[in-house]
Structure 1
């Protein structure tokens, strides 16, 4: 019965917050506070918190396992990622520490842990925001995710040290784990793409990583992260992460409910959370200055910084393990930061268009990999977006003798196309500076093959605004998106699924005709 109460409260408040354009997890936390206030009137007792604690722990382990699946060293060992995360962590902690010690009169050890908890940004919120805008693989998205993974690693080290666990003499066995990577790869290959793959993820995250590391006297959180990291370079790591995403989210609902059930916030907790929320612009400003210091353009630095302008659920995980007295104030702080951060990130590009000229004054006059092209040379056709659709269009037109150039905001997609012999450059269609500086003297046709509908609309508007009167063609998944792109100035849009069906029908009709002709020929010969 109590499970029904949990689900009803969590769903109701989560849905309410979602309709208001805010992350549902704020509703889950509110549901926990509501259940705590109602107590025994809705059948919630101490034993239920004990059960919920186990569910919450499973959510944390799955979160860390999925973080490990994204832990690719080549994406982390970049100056802006390593330097930006470490310097921001150090400076933030150093600024918070004296305030906590002298204003809040906290012991030094407790103040250090609280300062560290507030220096992190939210992996869950950032991933959801970037995924919803299809910017996970854009340059600024990759920088933000890299910084978040570095922060998660720092948090995990801090939790392991602060928890004071003493490893057993068998703990050195973890040093041989890298030798098990071929076996893990083989298991993932054999598990297929259905429930066995999900069960393998649960086995590695909760049993082998979680329980196994605890048996060795190590942190179960470290074990979950380690086994995720060992699978990070497998070609299906992203698929495994995606298959565990919803399951992890369900268990994390228990984590936020558990925090709320820990007690209602008092006046001091509310004041603390409000003060921390007011300090968010300082967090964003520090990230921005560090990123431009590492040679990022103002636009990339701004978008990455805004993604990181919040407080982290890892701070709550740290508090639940080593700062229990601060769990409720930190939960409110994280919630307030989400309420501010989520709406801002949805209009991040519009904000930059208004304040971009002021921010560009901070740019360093040094070339960086995210610097965009200023000329497209003698290319005749521009293909924007080098995914499957864009690559197919590029190759088909190249075979017909056209001079093609492809642009993409994902450096990996650009590198892949370059290795395949295509002419490709890094560029972001939503960046107004790109369109202002671009010289495209011989381009007479543009193909918009990006995933994001908003990017196609913006690209069309920018092309027409700069006086381009050539052909603009786009694909779209839905009719309303196609209409929007046409209204922005495109000449043609093709509905992807409809075109695929039409192409399939043409192949079938051709095959029927060929088969009929062959049967007729065989009949006449006999």
Structure 2
């Protein structure tokens, strides 16, 4: 039974590479190559069946649908995102196309399509790396995701042009799809939080988006992206994306398995992948200097560029449509880039601290508005991280203390708080330049309510380095993290769940004490 063999090899090698700290999809590609090698060695039949090809296609559609769910105009309409992505794409194609044409004796069309495939960075890898470090909403994380979305749109245009599919006269119907948005919003509201939510996502991505667009002669990939984008502004769009995450990942396993099973890489494919890996750092360097040109600081430029220094699964999707003969060499190239990029991104902040003295001189004199250093003025109480916990702390303190300020690294969240008339400003506690430019003459106490442990540790250490002797308090979920926060300089770190239990018990005791006729020790 081929399905049992695929699942066994995919799980085994996926778990093996995950244990080594690499993305599991590297293992899925390896599983396909191993199966292909076994077929040649022991003369068994291992080939991609119609079922596997169908699953692979569904994985691609769901990937594009979830990309569409993140396609908010405010996330990509900025000079650094649009300019950085387009300039990088143009420069990469302008350099790679003639190089591939001359060195590999290819046609101009093949060389151009290969250059386009190599110009993209991995949405899957970058999103996972940033999410694992809780930096998706940090400034450099939003810049990287915005550039990736722009690249995905470019890839979709290339796929549509390369497929040569002529739309029918009914294709004009798609211009009326925005009128369906209120209906789609109602369906999303009515679907709840369980399996109906997942089924709604599958219906929109695979049926209405995929089959619907194919029926009028348009790309099914475009349809999946469009229907995702139509829901992007709904408050529950990210909940829908998260509910589909596991389903999409399972289906994408089929895509990577299919590539591996299609054949073992030969010597030419291996040489191509190794050469592409050697020039991979140039991709990151180009992103770094382009983002600097758009007035970002060296730190944000470095962290964004590092998360984009890899090759993309979208390159494979483009190749599956336009360059099927190059699918295996490109798959090997993507896998090697993941092996390089994943571990390097784990130490991104450490690498920047080590090389910051060499990188900061490249900054311009004018900085991006989101990255200006700030002065806290007469602020007495400072709250770092304005999520639910930070907001509750702010509101409680603001009842009796007027000089309260909140800091957060998400400009959208900052704007929301400012609209609610809270004194909240943009700042990234993990940015060393923020600490260098920070003035806090009147601050007496600091609450660390960021979502990630690393941010709290960095903030506590830098507060003490600046000579702050006031009270620092934080919260966390785990005792070992609480110990680390205290060792970094905090006076106290409370366990969130434990304090919630104490608060609930205190409310109950207060209610009982206030009940009429209540006496201590009375029977109930």
Distance 1:240 1:44, change over 3 A: farther
Alignment correspondent of 1:247: 247
Distance 1:183 1:159, change over 3 A: same
Alignment correspondent of 1:95: 95
Q: TM-score, normalised by structure 2?
A: 0.97
Alignment correspondent of 2:448: 448
CA distance in 2, matches of 1:371, 1:251: 40
Q: Please say which of residues 504-513 and 187-196 is displaced more in the overlay.
A: 504-513
User: Are the aligned partners of 1:381 and 1:402 in contact in 2 as well (CA < 8 Å)?
Assistant: no
Alignment correspondent of 2:262: 262
Deviation of the 1:367 alpha carbon: 3.4
Deviation of the 1:49 alpha carbon: 3.0
Output one character per residue of 1:21-57: Cα deviation in whole Å (capped at 9) or x when no partner.
Answer: 11111000000011111128696544x4332111100
Distance 1:42 1:451, change over 3 A: farther
Output one character per residue of 1:129-168: Cα deviation in whole Å (capped at 9) or x when no partner.
Answer: 0100000000100000000000000000000001100111
Alignment correspondent of 1:495: 495
Output one character per residue of 1:270-299: Cα deviation in whole Å (capped at 9) or x when no partner.
Answer: 111111111111101110111010111111
Ranges in structure 1 where 5+ consecutive residues have no aligned partner: none
Alignment correspondent of 2:383: 383
Alignment correspondent of 1:424: 424
The alignment status of 1:397 with 2:400, answered yes or no, reads no
User: Are the aligned partners of 2:68 and 2:225 in contact in 1 as well (CA < 8 Å)?
Assistant: yes
User: Are the aligned partners of 1:384 and 1:390 in contact in 2 as well (CA < 8 Å)?
Assistant: yes
Moved over 6 A (4+): none
Q: How large is the RMSD of aligned CA atoms in angstroms?
A: 1.4
Aligned-partner SS, 2:383? strand
Alignment correspondent of 1:333: 333
CA distance in 1, matches of 2:505, 2:44: 59
User: Are the aligned partners of 1:122 and 1:314 in contact in 2 as well (CA < 8 Å)?
Assistant: yes
Alignment correspondent of 1:237: 237
Deviation of the 1:514 alpha carbon: 2.6
CA distance in 1, matches of 2:171, 2:351: 50
The alignment status of 1:462 with 2:458, answered yes or no, reads no
Q: TM-score, normalised by structure 1?
A: 0.97
Aligned positions, number: 519
Aligned residue runs from structure 1 range 499-510, under 5 A: 499-510=499-510
Deviation of the 1:373 alpha carbon: 2.8
Aligned residue runs from structure 1 range 296-335, under 5 A: 296-335=296-335
Output one character per residue of 1:395-442: Cα deviation in whole Å (capped at 9) or x when no partner.
Answer: 111111251111111111111111111111111111122112211000
CA distance in 2, matches of 1:457, 1:143: 24
Alignment correspondent of 1:228: 228
Aligned-partner SS, 2:137? coil
Distance 1:169 1:445, change over 3 A: same
Alignment correspondent of 1:218: 218
Output one character per residue of 1:323-369: Cα deviation in whole Å (capped at 9) or x when no partner.
Answer: 01100000011011111111111110010101112111111111312
CA distance in 2, matches of 1:401, 1:126: 41
User: Are the aligned partners of 1:373 and 1:426 in contact in 2 as well (CA < 8 Å)?
Assistant: no
CA distance in 1, matches of 2:200, 2:208: 10
User: Are the aligned partners of 1:2 and 1:44 in contact in 2 as well (CA < 8 Å)?
Assistant: no
